[in-house]
C-alpha cells in the first residue's frame, strides 16, 4: 500500500499536475483565495505648460505696445513706431472721401495745440470702409497737405479690419471694448509707454471734451 501511494504521487509529479485541494467533511472543496492584484497605476498627467508669448510676424516677442511695430510712411520709408517713444499719440484710421473727412482739420489743430508738450496725431489711411480711400499714397499725401495742411505723421495705406488687417490693428482691436474698428476715423489714444489708454468712435470729434481731457491727463502722467 505504501509503495502504491508513492507511485501515485510520483505520477502526479511526472505529468506536472497539482493534487486536488482538500475536501471538507461535507465534500465542499476548499479553494485558496487568489493573491490580491496590485491596484492600477493612476494615469500620468501632462505637466502644465506656461502660456506662450505672442509674437510679431518677424518672430519678435510682443509686449502689447505699439513700439513693437515698424510700418512704411506715406513716402515709402520704414519707420519704427518706437521712434515715438515717450510721446502721447492719437492713432487714427483716415480716409479722403468719408463723411468724417473734415475731421482732418480738427486733428491738425489738435496736433498743433499739444505738439510742443509731447503729443502727436498719427494717420493710417485705409480703404476698408466703403472704398473711401481709393487713391495712391502719393495722392493721399497731396490731398491731406493741400486741403487740410496736415503736418502730423502719415503712414502708407493699410487694411485695418478683417483677416488681412495689419498686426498693429490686430493688437489695437483688443483694446476694450474689444472688437474691430467700425469705420473711418476711429481713434486710439496711446500713452507715453506705448500702450493704449482709450479708444474713441468715429463720431467723437477732435474737439470733444472727453478726448481733449484724456489727452491732457495722459500728458500729465510721467
Is 144 catalytic? The answer is no
pLDDT at 153: 98
- pLDDT tens figures, 148-167: 999 999 999 999 999 999 99
- pLDDT tens figures, 88-147: 999 999 999 999 999 999 999 999 999 999 999 999 999 999 999 999 999 999 999 999
| Catalytic residue from among 81, 91, 98, 189 | 98
Q: Report H helices in the chain.
A: 2-14, 103-114, 137-147, 167-172, 209-220
Do 103 and 95 meet the contact criterion of CB atoms below 8 Å apart?
no
Indicate the number of domains in the chain: 1
Q: Is residue 144 part of a domain?
A: yes
Distance between CA atoms of residues 203 and 100, nearest Å = 8
CATH number of the domain at 128, please. 3.40.30.10
pLDDT at 63: 54
Q: Is residue 45 part of a domain?
A: no
Rg of the chain, C-alpha, whole Å:
39
Q: Is residue 113 part of a domain?
A: yes
Q: Return the bridge partners of 198, or none.
A: 189
Distance between CA atoms of residues 36 and 47, nearest Å = 32
Q: Is residue 200 part of a domain?
A: yes
Q: Is residue 47 part of a domain?
A: no
Q: Is residue 116 part of a domain?
A: yes
Residue 81 CA neighbour count, 13 Å, CB half: 27
Q: Which cell numbers in the block locate residue 108?
A: 491738425
Domain range for 194:
67-220
Q: Is residue 211 part of a domain?
A: yes
Q: Is residue 57 part of a domain?
A: no
User: What is the pTM assigned to this prediction?
Assistant: 0.73
- pLDDT tens figures, 28-46: 333 344 444 555 554 443 3
Q: How far is CA 25 from CA 28, 30, 79, 90, 182, in A?
A: 7, 11, 102, 101, 94
Q: Are strands 88-94 and 119-125 parallel, antiparallel or unpaired?
A: parallel
Q: How far is CA 65 from CA 57, 72, 171, 216, in A?
A: 15, 18, 9, 21
Closest CA to 93 of 161, 9, 178: 161
Q: What is the mean pLDDT of residues 197-211?
A: 97
Q: Return the bridge partners of 94, or none.
A: 125
Amino acid at each position: 500500500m505504501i509503495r502504491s501511494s508513492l507511485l501515485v504521487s510520483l505520477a502526479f509529479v511526472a505529468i506536472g499536475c497539482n493534487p486536488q485541494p482538500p475536501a471538507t467533511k461535507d465534500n465542499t472543496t476548499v479553494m485558496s483565495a487568489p493573491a490580491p492584484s496590485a491596484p492600477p497605476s493612476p494615469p500620468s498627467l501632462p505637466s502644465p505648460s506656461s502660456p506662450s508669448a505672442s509674437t510679431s510676424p518677424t518672430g519678435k516677442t510682443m509686449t502689447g505696445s505699439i513700439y513693437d511695430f515698424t510700418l512704411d510712411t506715406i513716402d515709402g520709408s520704414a519707420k519704427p513706431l518706437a521712434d515715438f517713444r515717450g510721446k502721447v499719440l492719437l492713432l487714427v484710421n483716415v480716409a479722403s472721401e468719408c463723411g468724417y473727412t473734415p475731421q482732418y482739420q480738427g486733428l491738425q489743430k489738435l496736433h498743433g495745440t499739444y505738439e510742443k508738450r509731447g503729443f502727436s496725431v498719427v494717420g493710417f489711411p485705409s480703404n476698408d470702409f466703403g472704398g473711401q480711400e481709393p487713391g495712391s499714397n502719393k495722392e493721399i499725401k497731396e490731398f491731406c497737405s493741400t486741403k487740410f495742411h496736415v503736418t502730423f505723421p502719415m503712414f502708407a495705406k493699410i487694411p485695418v479690419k478683417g483677416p488681412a488687417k495689419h498686426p498693429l490693428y490686430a493688437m489695437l482691436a483688443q483694446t476694450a471694448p474689444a472688437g474691430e474698428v467700425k469705420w473711418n476715423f476711429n481713434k486710439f489714444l496711446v500713452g507715453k509707454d506705448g500702450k493704449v489708454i482709450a479708444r474713441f468712435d468715429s463720431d467723437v470729434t477732435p474737439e470733444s471734451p472727453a478726448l481733449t481731457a484724456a489727452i491732457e491727463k495722459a500728458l500729465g502722467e510721467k
